[in-house]
């Protein structure tokens, strides 16, 4: 038995050992291999060996004891688990011998988790699962999980969508309180809310949207003023029938956005509101928030006002119908509409290009790129991919919405009330010096300095748009951009070349637009506003990003399935991104992206991070916007990534045969 002196000596020794340790705290990061890191707040990473990674999950907050090996390299030993964020997750059911596991679908996780026999439900091998952690691995490196729900077998139609919704914790069903409130709203509600609003029902507003659209957010009316135009942009007004703080509003802010999954979107608001009571349907009275704008003959915006009104849309027209109407000779218009509507379309067809030209001269225009729509079959797999080309009708709607949004941003920025703006800071701060190096090599003293200023950024972009040398500097700049972010204060939107910008033209689909409506009405009526807090803003931003991630993940999964049978077929593709390991390419005919690795190529390539080029010793190059032929090499199903390889250009005979086959199929 130890005496008191020995116990005190032992206690002192333990304290000395503890004090001599370098204990740091950070967040665990996984890797594609079994090792990992602990990311410290000051930006430093501490290496964790595979054995140490067995004790933790990616995302865990931990304390580690920093030590050095015999070569002086630092590594960490897990000292304590502070917090774990991994409680529920999705994955695939795996059976290995007599043991059953879930292959966890979490970024940075490269392990399976054991599922005890009494927690397996009736899952079958390869089923997709929703699980909960029962035992963290911190003590013995052996985590356990239980199955909460079997999402479905891998061949169940639509299982990909169900899985993505579960993975990203997206709310799919309406709660009882929301449904009850929704059911209490009727056409009589619309009538009751008309009192005190301006009556614009005699004006021939028109909606222009996709033929299949039912949640119509906006309608347009315009008239000549002699010195330009008077444009009235009517925006659907859901805040007029959805009470502040109600279950419906809470639902809108919980979902924060409609999520446009292929062929089957998830709406932000119940259908009876978004496609009926608040949709600007033709031939019925509807409540709207009006942005009325004076526009001069140069496209410059003048005086504007925002107010509540009742409208009665005269017609719902598709983009294709309006474009055909505009482009056809006056005496052969294929679209049969009354004279008032025809007159509105003709005025809009003159106004929109003028608005766009003003932005080209005084702000910045985004580069127009084709969009793609996935069409699914009965099995919920891709049947075809449609290219969505922009036409003159898209320009009309786009320019009118941008004009209204600019006015809304200015209106809110002039109020002492904090607002909600969309900001864009231009080129990422850590890449500005690289971009300037390239610019100076091209333009010498004409190169603007200090790209943190909007005017300098705009000058840089304008110079890049006129530059025809290769590699294309305008594409180099575009790959170095910051993300657009929300802000409660008005800040420049570099990408659009505007001093302030927001959006309020899609309140049926976007929570931030819904909030802007609420805020504008508070300002108009001189009422105190319930402002977004910093945490609210972060939540809005994260939910917006999460919705994009969910859609991208589902689409990428379906695209991997679509491409798998096409192995060996050559496609024309465009280089869209560059890294030291290879290039990301997009197939021109369907928009599917994949990676071309240089590792398997017979020659080595060196990467220029400034010009974003890959160059071999024989001067062969990959550059941005380059057209190359590729074919499917493999699919990484774990990460849903498509791997391409460079394919030889089809011979003239092969190309002719392919065109003949495609023509016959059509």
CA distance 44 to 29: 12
**Contact present, 60 and 86 (Cβ < 8 Å):** yes
Structural domain contains residue 297: yes
Task: Please tell me the predicted confidence (pLDDT) of residue 416.
Answer: 85
CA distance 339 to 331: 13
Task: Please tell me the predicted confidence (pLDDT) of residue 328.
Answer: 78
Structural domain contains residue 545: no
* Region for 281 from its dihedrals, namely left if φ exceeds 0, alpha if ψ lies in -120 to 50, beta otherwise: beta
CA distance 382 to 276: 30
Q: Enter the tokens of residue 119.
A: 């927690």
Which of 66, 83, 100 marks a domain boundary?
83
* Region for 121 from its dihedrals, namely left if φ exceeds 0, alpha if ψ lies in -120 to 50, beta otherwise: left
Structural domain contains residue 381: no
* Tens-digit pLDDT profile for residues 593-609: 999 999 989 899 999 99
Structural domain contains residue 596: yes
Spans in the chain with pLDDT lower than 70: 1-20, 329-335, 530-531, 650-666
- Same-domain check for residues 238 and 309: yes
- Same-domain check for residues 402 and 272: yes
CA distance 236 to 216: 8
Residue 120 sits in a domain whose CATH number is 2.40.50.140
CA angle 550, 554, 555 (to 5 degrees): 115
Task: Please tell me the predicted confidence (pLDDT) of residue 327.
Answer: 86
Structural domain contains residue 385: no
Question: What are the strands of the beta sheet with 218-224, ordered from one edge?
Answer: 198-199, 301-312, 285-296, 228-236, 218-224, 206-209, 315-318
Could you tell me which of 106, 104, 102 has the C-alpha nearest to residue 28? 106
- Same-domain check for residues 310 and 266: yes
- Same-domain check for residues 513 and 656: no
How crowded is the C-beta side of 610, counted as CA atoms within 13 Å? 10
- Same-domain check for residues 297 and 348: yes
CA angle 228, 233, 235 (to 5 degrees): 175
- Same-domain check for residues 308 and 432: no
Contacts (Cβ under 8 Å, ≥6 apart) of 165: 172, 266, 550
Torsion of CA 232, 236, 237, 238, to 10 degrees: -170
Element (H, E) at 5: helix 4-20
- Same-domain check for residues 109 and 245: no
**Contact present, 311 and 234 (Cβ < 8 Å):** yes
- Same-domain check for residues 277 and 402: yes
DSSP code for 445: G
- Same-domain check for residues 97 and 241: no
Structural domain contains residue 561: no
**Residues of the domain holding 272:** 176-369+391-415+507-526
CA distance 599 to 608: 16
Which of 83, 99, 119 marks a domain boundary?
83
Structural domain contains residue 427: yes
* Region for 625 from its dihedrals, namely left if φ exceeds 0, alpha if ψ lies in -120 to 50, beta otherwise: left
Task: Please tell me the predicted confidence (pLDDT) of residue 331.
Answer: 63
- Same-domain check for residues 309 and 216: yes
Which of 156, 191, 211 marks a domain boundary?
156
**Contact present, 576 and 587 (Cβ < 8 Å):** no
- Same-domain check for residues 446 and 473: yes
* Tens-digit pLDDT profile for residues 319-357: 999 999 998 766 666 667 788 999 999 999 999 999 999
Number of structural domains the chain divides into: 5
**Contact present, 598 and 633 (Cβ < 8 Å):** no
- Same-domain check for residues 251 and 226: yes
Mode of pairing for the β-strands spanning 582-587 and 570-579:
antiparallel
Structural domain contains residue 652: yes
């Amino acid at each position: 038995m130890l005496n008191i002196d020995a116990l005190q000596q032992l206690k002192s020794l333990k304290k000395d050992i503890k004090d001599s340790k370098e204990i740091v705290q950070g967040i665990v990061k996984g890797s594609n291999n079994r090792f990992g890191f602990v990311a410290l707040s000051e930006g430093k990473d501490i290496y964790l060996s595979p054995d140490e990674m067995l004790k933790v999950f990616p995302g865990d907050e931990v304390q580690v004891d920093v030590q050095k090996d015999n070569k002086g390299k630092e590594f960490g030993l897990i000292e304590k688990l502070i917090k774990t964020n991994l409680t529920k997750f999705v994955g695939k059911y795996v059976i290995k011998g007599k043991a059953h596991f879930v292959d966890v679908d979490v970024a940075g996780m490269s392990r399976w988790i054991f599922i005890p026999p009494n927690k397996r439900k009736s899952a079958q091998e390869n089923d997709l699962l929703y699980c909960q952690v029962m035992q963290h691995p911190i003590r013995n490196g052996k985590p356990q999980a239980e199955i909460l729900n079997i999402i479905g077998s891998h061949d169940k139609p639509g299982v990909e969508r169900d899985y993505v919704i579960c993975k990203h914790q997206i709310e799919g069903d309406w709660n009882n309180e929301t449904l009850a409130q929704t059911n209490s709203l009727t056409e009589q509600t619309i009538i009751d809310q008309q009192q005190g609003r301006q009556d614009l029902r005699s004006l021939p507003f028109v909606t222009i949207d996709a033929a299949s659209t039912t949640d119509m957010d906006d309608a347009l009316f315009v008239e000549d003023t002699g010195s330009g135009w008077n444009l009235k942009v009517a925006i659907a007004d859901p805040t007029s029938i959805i009470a502040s703080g109600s279950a419906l509003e809470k639902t809108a802010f919980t979902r924060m956005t409609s999520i446009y999954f292929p062929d089957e979107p998830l709406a932000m608001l119940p259908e009876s509101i978004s496609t009926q009571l608040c949709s600007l349907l033709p031939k019925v009275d509807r409540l709207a928030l009006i942005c009325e704008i004076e526009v001069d003959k140069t496209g410059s915006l003048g005086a504007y006002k925002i107010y509540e009104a009742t409208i009665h849309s005269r017609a719902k027209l598709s983009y294709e119908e309006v474009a055909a109407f505009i482009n056809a000779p006056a005496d052969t218009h294929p679209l049969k509409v009354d004279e008032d509507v025809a007159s509105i379309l003709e005025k809009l067809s003159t106004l929109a290009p003028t608005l766009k030209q003003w932005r080209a001269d005084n702000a910045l225009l985004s580069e127009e790129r084709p969009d793609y729509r996935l069409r699914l079959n009965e099995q919920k797999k891709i049947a075809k991919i449609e290219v969505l080309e922009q036409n003159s009708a898209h320009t009309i709607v786009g320019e009118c919405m941008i004009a209204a949004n600019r006015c809304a941003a200015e209106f809110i920025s002039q109020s002492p009330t904090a607002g909600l703006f969309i900001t864009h800071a231009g080129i990422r701060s850590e890449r500005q010096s690289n971009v300037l190096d390239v610019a100076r090599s091209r333009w010498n003293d004409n190169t603007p300095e200090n790209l943190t200023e909007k005017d300098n950024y705009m000058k840089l972009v304008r110079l890049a748009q006129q530059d025809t040398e290769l590699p294309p500097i305008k594409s180099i700049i575009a790959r170095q951009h910051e993300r657009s972010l929300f802000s409660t204060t008005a800040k420049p939107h570099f990408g659009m070349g505007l001093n302030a910008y927001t959006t309020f033209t899609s309140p049926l689909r976007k929570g931030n637009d819904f909030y802007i409506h609420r805020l504008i009405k508070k300002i108009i009526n001189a009422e105190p506003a319930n402002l977004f807090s910093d945490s609210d803003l972060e939540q809005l931003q994260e939910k917006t990003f999460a919705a994009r991630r969910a859609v991208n993940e589902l689409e990428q999964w379906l695209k991997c399935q679509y491409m798998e049978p096409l192995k060996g077929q050559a496609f024309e593709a465009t280089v869209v991104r560059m890294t030291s390991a290879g290039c990301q390419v997009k197939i021109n005919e369907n928009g599917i992206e994949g990676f071309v690795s240089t590792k398997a190529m017979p020659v080595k390539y060196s990467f220029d991070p400034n010009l974003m080029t890959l160059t071999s010793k024989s001067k062969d190059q990959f550059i941005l916007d380059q057209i190359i032929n590729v074919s499917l090499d493999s699919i990484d199903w774990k990460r849903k990534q498509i791997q391409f390889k460079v394919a030889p250009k089809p011979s003239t005979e092969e190309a002719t045969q392919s065109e003949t086959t495609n023509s016959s199929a059509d």
